[in-house]
């Protein structure tokens, strides 16, 4: 099997149709096929072999999409690095994945150089948009346009998707070729998901995350992928109008910004037939507002890096029903999609009756089986073929899933996962702090915001701005606390440990659920 072969097929069936648009760069399927073949053959020509890792560390650009498809063709393992990560985090990924080549844009070139210097892995830097190292265009010149499709196995790694870890360090879910194929198949089978031939999908957010997941299915279907170089509300609206976008994916923060912007009311959004929201829970009122603004085209999905794709879907009809006859549906994230199974289990792993709160677990051909180089964490999350999500919820008798809280100490802010322990590990290195506790608190814009509740050391004099700046130097921007509260003591549980739930609870009093 080779997932890149679907691009070759689409280029055979509709060579002159637009395949990829980003800024001024517009490629037909024939041109995309040629570019991805040249890149794949150039990497092979430089001695890279199937199973070796190649990373991208860049904002949204057409070249990053081309790279993804070329890596599929050459059997190389893709390592998408969030453009928001810090030097230390990037260096950790380079070493952990043993990255051989790192594609980077000039905006992040200095950070990439610093990470390359700190890492022990010998890694070649290639820039997408100029600079004083080997450029993307120069590398393409080394390749050939003849079709490339290196054979890979279903269980071979395709993507190492690094996400924040509960242990305070980044960990990578190993998404196999079979996982990615199942993701593609699931999207292509659904009229709610991947655009059909001739339709146009807009990747409005970072393609290293959920907005990038539909790309392969969209291109395999023969549709056109439009990539927004950066999130900007007015740019989004102009792009939908100009490119006649038919479907898109937004995290709740983006949806909030659209609903609040006056230009949304006058923009021509008549081409949109599907607006999917995911990456974090959506407030019921926001779904009502979205239907009132965009019409009955709004759907919501739920999934994780560990499940490769969405495991449940609240369809457009479901959301519409939630605004009329069944308001509880707007608190649900939908029902299982196709060959995905979802259960609610208690602490022993036994299934519980409908309506009973327990941990959400899932299994299916798109579900991951392990973390990269993390056997202990793998054994905690992946058990007997099931992914233990760390989310607490219940199933309604008719199969709808409701997420009510998190079992893991995790915050979802603006669609990004932030583990409390990861931020706490940095806070504990500040010499003025004796004890710390990080929690997620409700935030109208971000869904949840990172809050640090801290105890100063005796005699220490430190303020909120200093603590926030300290974290900003050592963590990705999304992970730094947005507020700091100073207290004399933190509550503890019966075992003498800091009681995070008690700290968190007073900020969520009266909320419909313990997640936003």
Architecture of domain 5-230: 3-Layer(aba) Sandwich (3.40)
List strand residue ranges (DSSP E) for 228-273, in order. 247-250
pLDDT at residue 256, as a whole number: 85
Of 400, 368, 22, residue with least CA distance to 212: 22
Tokens of 304: 């994780």
How big is the chain by its Cα radius of gyration, in Å? 23
44-68 pLDDT, tens digit each: 999 999 999 999 999 999 999 999 9
The residues of the chain that CATH labels 2.30.38.10 are 339-406
CATH of 410-505 given 3.30.470.30, 3.30.300.30, 3.40.50.261, 3.40.30.160: 3.30.300.30
Angle at 354 between CA 352 and CA 358, to 5 degrees: 45
DSSP-derived letter for residue 82 is: P
Cα 200 from Cα 298, distance rounded (Å) = 17
Q: What is the mean pLDDT of residues 451-477?
A: 92
pLDDT at residue 277, as a whole number: 94
The residues of the chain that CATH labels 3.40.50.980 are 5-230
Residue 422 has pLDDT above 90, yes or no: no
- Would you say 206 and 58 are in contact if contact means Cβ atoms under 8 Å apart? no
394-412 pLDDT, tens digit each: 999 999 999 987 777 788 8
Its pTM stands at: 0.86
DSSP-derived letter for residue 364 is: S
Of 366, 57, 36, 2, residue with least CA distance to 207: 57
CATH of 339-406 given 3.20.20.70, 3.40.1030.10, 3.40.50.410, 2.30.38.10: 2.30.38.10
- Would you say 339 and 361 are in contact if contact means Cβ atoms under 8 Å apart? no
Of 351, 345, 287, residue with least CA distance to 320: 287
Angle at 178 between CA 383 and CA 302, to 5 degrees: 65
Cα 404 from Cα 377, distance rounded (Å) = 24
Beta bridge partners of 371: 173
- Would you say 504 and 440 are in contact if contact means Cβ atoms under 8 Å apart? yes
pLDDT at residue 415, as a whole number: 82
Of 416, 432, 387, residue with least CA distance to 179: 387
DSSP-derived letter for residue 294 is: H
Indicate the range of 16-25, 333-342, 487-496 predicted with least confidence: 487-496
Tokens of 487: 């207290």
Handedness of CA 188, 192, 193, 197 (dihedral sign): positive
Residue 99 has pLDDT above 80, yes or no: yes
Of 473, 468, 469, residue with least CA distance to 451: 468
Q: Over the chain, what is the mean pLDDT?
A: 92
The residues of the chain that CATH labels 3.30.300.30 are 410-505
Cβ atoms within 10 A of the Cβ of 294, count? Answer: 16
Q: What is the mean pLDDT of residues 144-150?
A: 95
430-445 pLDDT, tens digit each: 999 988 999 999 898 8
DSSP-derived letter for residue 238 is: H
Instruction: Report the half-sphere exposure of 503 (CA within 13 A, side-chain side).
Output: 27
pLDDT tier for residue 495 given thresholds of 50, 70 and 90:
low
pLDDT at residue 167, as a whole number: 58
Residues across the chain: 516
């Amino acid at each position: 099997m080779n997932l890149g072969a679907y691009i070759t097929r689409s280029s055979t069936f509709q060579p002159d149709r637009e395949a990829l648009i980003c800024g001024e760069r517009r490629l037909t399927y024939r041109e995309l096929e040629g570019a991805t073949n040249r890149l794949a053959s150039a990497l092979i020509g430089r001695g890279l072999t199937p199973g070796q890792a190649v990373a991208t560390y860049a904002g949204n650009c057409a070249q990053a999409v081309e790279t993804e498809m070329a890596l599929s063709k050459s059997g190389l393992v893709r390592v998408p690095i969030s453009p928001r990560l810090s030097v230390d985090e990037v260096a950790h990924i380079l070493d952990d994945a043993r990255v051989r080549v790192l594609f980077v844009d000039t905006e992040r070139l200095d950070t990439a150089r610093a990470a390359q210097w700190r890492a022990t892995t010998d890694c070649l830097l290639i820039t997408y948009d100029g600079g004083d190292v080997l450029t993307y265009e120069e590398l393409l010149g080394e390749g050939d346009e003849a079709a490339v499709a290196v054979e890979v196995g279903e269980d071979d790694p395709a993507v190492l998707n690094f996400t924040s870890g509960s242990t305070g360090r980044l960990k990578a879910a190993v998404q196999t070729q079979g996982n990615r194929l199942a993701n593609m198949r699931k999207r292509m089978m659904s009229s709610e998901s991947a655009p059909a031939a001739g339709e146009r999908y807009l990747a409005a957010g970072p393609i290293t995350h959920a907005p990038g997941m539909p790309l392969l299915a969209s291109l395999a279907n023969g549709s056109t992928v439009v990539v927004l170089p950066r999130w900007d509300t007015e740019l989004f609206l102009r792009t939908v109008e100009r490119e006649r976008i038919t479907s898109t994916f937004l995290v709740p923060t983006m949806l909030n910004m659209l609903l609040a912007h006056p230009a949304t009311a006058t923009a021509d959004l008549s081409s949109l037939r599907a607006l999917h929201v995911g990456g974090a829970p959506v407030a019921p009122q926001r779904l009502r507002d979205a239907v009132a603004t965009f019409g009955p085209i709004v759907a919501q999905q739920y999934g994780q890096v560990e499940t490769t794709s969405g495991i449940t879907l609240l369809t457009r009809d479901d959301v519409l029903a939630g605004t009329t006859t069944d308001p509880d549906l707007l608190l649900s994230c939908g029902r299982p999609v196709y060959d995905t199974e979802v259960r609610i289990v208690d602490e022993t792993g036994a299934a519980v009756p409908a309506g009973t709160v327990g941990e959400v677990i899932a299994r299916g051909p798109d579900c991951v089986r392990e973390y990269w180089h993390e056997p202990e964490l793998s054994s905690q999350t992946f058990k007997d073929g099931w992914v233990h999500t760390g989310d607490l919820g219940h199933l309604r008798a008719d199969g709808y899933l409701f997420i009510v809280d998190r079992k893991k100490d995790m915050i979802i802010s603006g669609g990004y996962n932030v583990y409390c322990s990861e931020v706490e590990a940095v806070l504990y290195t500040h010499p003025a702090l004796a004890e710390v506790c990080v929690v997620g608190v409700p935030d109208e814009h971000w869904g949840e915001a990172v809050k640090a509740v801290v105890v100063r050391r005796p005699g220490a004099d430190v303020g909120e701005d200093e603590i926030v700046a300290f974290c900003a130097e050592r963590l990705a921007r999304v992970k730094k606390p947005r507020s700091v509260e100073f207290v004399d003591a933190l509550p503890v549980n019966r075992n003498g440990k800091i009681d995070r739930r008690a700290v968190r609870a007073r900020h969520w009093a009266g909320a419909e659920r313990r997640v936003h």
